[in-house]
Amino acid sequence: MGTVDCKIEGGIATVTFTNPPKGFFTSDMVAQTRDIVANLENDEQVRVIVFTGGLPDVFIRHFSVEEIIEMTAALRARRARGQADPRFARTPLRLLWEEIDNTRKPTIAAINGYCGGGGCELALACDIRLAGPGDYTIGQMEILVGILPGAGGTTRLARLVGTGKALEWVLRGRTFSPQEAAAEGLVHHYIDGDVLAAAHEMAAEFLDKPAAALAAIKQVLRSSWGKTTAEGVDEEGDLFGNLIATDERALEMMKDYVAGGHQLKKF
């Protein structure tokens, strides 16, 4: 079972995701993380939150496709019984990203390895993204298993890099090396060294800044777009739920991906 650990030192909380052997994110890990984030939000001694991966070369590879296949079966069974769909935009996963997005405290993603799908969505929900060295990729590659991002990837990516780039990347399932991600603006900085140490060094800059001012800066910038993130993610979540409930090709592609040992082609 995957674990989510939290260490607090000197006002900096480090949240670490570990799920060997491949580093997938799971519903159980979502629950663990939501509890941790809620506790950190209410801990006035914590000034900054850093997220990172606990496996070599893995931040969060992506959300478990096996679990999405199970969601697919459950959703189709509900429809067969004439029951209304659950609101995918209100799933615990989407709510977790929203909670990270809306925390009053600065958040930093210290990306130390594969960061795709739900892992990229988590990074996009953070205020600052740093990527360390390694032979790994970052991006929203859900189309390569026949689906679309389901918890905010489209909306947050478009706000970060613009609709044009986001459309190309999500339509193609385009992923980037850490250096490419920095050049394209997907991450703020490429760190040629220990990315977690660099994240902690940056986090220390916030320790002597007023917490109320930091929270106000986050609030005014996060709400500066005409359409709210919640509105965009609501639409995305509804589309995701409808897709997995109706599209046979999507289910086939997800099953092929799992059966093939979780291998994706890089574009």
One-letter amino acid identity for 2? Answer: G
- What lies within 8 Å, CB to CB, of 148 at 6+ separation is 142, 154, 170, 236, 239, 240, 243
- Inter-residue contact 13 to 50 (CB < 8 Å): yes
Residue-wise pLDDT tens digits, 198-234: 999 999 999 988 788 788 788 777 766 666 777 777 7
Record the pTM.
Answer: 0.84
Residue-wise pLDDT tens digits, 67-111: 888 887 877 887 888 777 666 556 777 889 889 998 999 999 999
How far apart CA 23 and CA 134 sit, in angstroms, is: 16
Helix (H, G, I), strand (E, B) or coil at 152: coil
Q: How does DSSP assign 54-66, residue by residue?
A: SBTEEEE--B-HH
Confidence of residue 6 (pLDDT cuts 50, 70, 90): very high
Q: H or E element: which one contains 197?
A: helix 195-204
Q: What are the sequence ranges of the domains in the chain?
A: 3-259
Superfamily of domain 3-259: 2-enoyl-CoA Hydratase; Chain A, domain 1 (3.90.226.10)
